[in-house]
Structure 1
């Protein structure tokens, strides 16, 4: 009886050992990571001191300079995905803090026409500018994450293997859909009030969730969370000293465009990510592909077609 129990226990231990045996990366996976880290943009992700993963600290400089070994490649994929998530969390935080601060300014001026203009303006900013950058950021994280044989996208959102900020980027798609399903009528001010509150509360929720998620994974270089808003306000004040006709919302829209363009260049193309305009998917460079830095986006002065439905009479 004792020997039978011992045999069963031994089989169980053997099963556990075999089942939990580390899965090593392939040469293709290690080459993909090393190729990606050759892009100059990775050296410029200096807003993060280090990231935390499995109770350990990982520094980007070490990850870049250390050749990727098969035994450590999958951990490297995880930590680089977290680094990317931390950077994109800061970008997202900047965007929605500016929306919150701008909407607060609007509420101080209890003008019905002001409500119309700001609500329409920020729907356009979210649908035409913020939604596309959120799509690119999630695409970059997913492409990197898919190098792992067990990507985080395969886990449920409430599992212990949490995919940093990915659910939040999906929420931006939800607000994008919600805003585009609504019809605003200037004959019915309640449609504007409801949409205005939706944008404000959604933005506050994003900020709160970002704070929680980044505390788990990211150690940022200390910075003022409102630094970008403060810079823009000072710039606007300096401009209107000479041109009092400049509308604040027009100024703000231009600043959003410039900031998002910079993010796409520096934190997407210069990190090696590629975009397929046909499938609208992000993919990684091939190991044997020449490194071509994408320094410019195609500039156009034309406004993209609006997705906003507004009834005017």
Structure 2
């Protein structure tokens, strides 16, 4: 009889301990989220008019207000994860539009103009850009989304069904990463043609998936997907007209690097996300941490190392 009473008491005690622990975890996550919203970058996300979630419209100015209500906090976390996904989808749209145009230039050099030397050089430059800039950016954006989502009591990332944009960012990270590791042989031009065609197909397919998601969740401020390309082309023409000699692909590489640097600062660090350069992990600051901007991503005019494998003989 005493053993039964002890067992019942032990069960009650365990339940109380687990409840207190769960309460403490939820409180910490709630405070972490409110801390994240104090970063100024959230107020500067201006690509969207609103997002749609559970058949309702949500506006940024309401989502980024801190709250003591934990139920409202859960709703805000879910909606802001969608909002962040829409924002990152817009970034991918901009970059993939540029890359698609660059692929066309490479293909034209090799197929129509029979300029194999520049066709190969431009292709190698393009693969460098994707490997050194696009793939790491997709990784950062996915981890930022996942870490924000993990502040929710029921993270979508841990469920069987996934949530918008993040899986596509993972696909960009993995499949583009694998693709850029393919060996190119200057003695076999077909390897260059193959990688350009494969890249082109991948970009078109991933954008179909991303645009499908954004059509359901995101109401963007009207914009031209080619605005960066047109703007950079005009800037390049201005530079050339002034008598400066500059290879167009080198110019585009620098412009893309500057754009990605700006994205990382404004849509990652200024949103409060932190990066551990040792583990290469993203994490959300604790409530006790001081708000400060960490810029691990630094600008440099040095040429990046070439990560792709090229057979020259």
TM-score by length of 1: 0.86
Q: How far apart in 1 are the matches of 2:25 and 2:280? A: 28
4+ residue stretches of structure 1 with deviation over 4 A? none
Aligned length: 287
2:280 is equivalent to residue 276 of structure 1: no
2:128 is equivalent to residue 124 of structure 1: yes
Q: How far apart in 2 are the matches of 1:124 and 1:28? A: 41
Given that 1:25 and 1:71 are in contact with CA atoms closer than 8 Å, whether structure 2 keeps it comes out as no
Given that 1:53 and 1:79 are in contact with CA atoms closer than 8 Å, whether structure 2 keeps it comes out as yes
Given that 2:261 and 2:299 are in contact with CA atoms closer than 8 Å, whether structure 1 keeps it comes out as no
* Structure 2 counterpart SS, 1:278: coil
Q: How far apart in 1 are the matches of 2:24 and 2:227? A: 43
2:137 is equivalent to residue 133 of structure 1: yes
Find the counterpart in structure 1 of residue 26 from structure 2: 26
Judge which range, 181-190 or 265-274, deviates more: 181-190
Residue by residue over 1:104-124, the C-alpha shift from the partner in whole angstroms, topping out at 9 and shown as x without a partner, is 233334221232022111110
Q: How far apart in 2 are the matches of 1:170 and 1:66? A: 30
Residue by residue over 1:58-115, the C-alpha shift from the partner in whole angstroms, topping out at 9 and shown as x without a partner, is 1110112352411222111110101110110000111111011122233334221232
Find the counterpart in structure 2 of residue 170 from structure 1: 170
Q: How far apart in 2 are the matches of 1:68 and 1:195? A: 52
Find the counterpart in structure 2 of residue 6 from structure 1: none
Q: How far apart in 2 are the matches of 1:77 and 1:232? A: 36
Find the counterpart in structure 1 of residue 8 from structure 2: none
Q: Aligned-residue CA RMSD in angstroms? A: 1.9
* Structure 1 counterpart SS, 2:70: coil
Find the counterpart in structure 1 of residue 198 from structure 2: 198
Given that 2:135 and 2:177 are in contact with CA atoms closer than 8 Å, whether structure 1 keeps it comes out as no
* Structure 1 counterpart SS, 2:151: coil
2:123 is equivalent to residue 150 of structure 1: no
2:230 is equivalent to residue 230 of structure 1: yes
Q: How far apart in 2 are the matches of 1:62 and 1:270? A: 19
| Deviation at residue 25 of structure 1 after TM alignment | 8.4
| Deviation at residue 56 of structure 1 after TM alignment | 0.9
Judge which range, 62-71 or 247-256, deviates more: 62-71
Find the counterpart in structure 1 of residue 60 from structure 2: 60
Q: How far apart in 2 are the matches of 1:244 and 1:102? A: 22
Show structure 2 runs of 5+ residues with no match: 1-22
Given that 2:136 and 2:173 are in contact with CA atoms closer than 8 Å, whether structure 1 keeps it comes out as no
Q: How far apart in 2 are the matches of 1:186 and 1:272? A: 45
| Deviation at residue 296 of structure 1 after TM alignment | 7.6
Show structure 1 runs of 5+ residues with no match: 1-22
Judge which range, 226-235 or 251-260, deviates more: 226-235
Residues 31/206 of structure 1: CA separation in 2 closer, same or farther (3 Å cut): same
Q: How far apart in 2 are the matches of 1:143 and 1:47? A: 22
Find the counterpart in structure 1 of residue 18 from structure 2: none
Find the counterpart in structure 1 of residue 289 from structure 2: 289
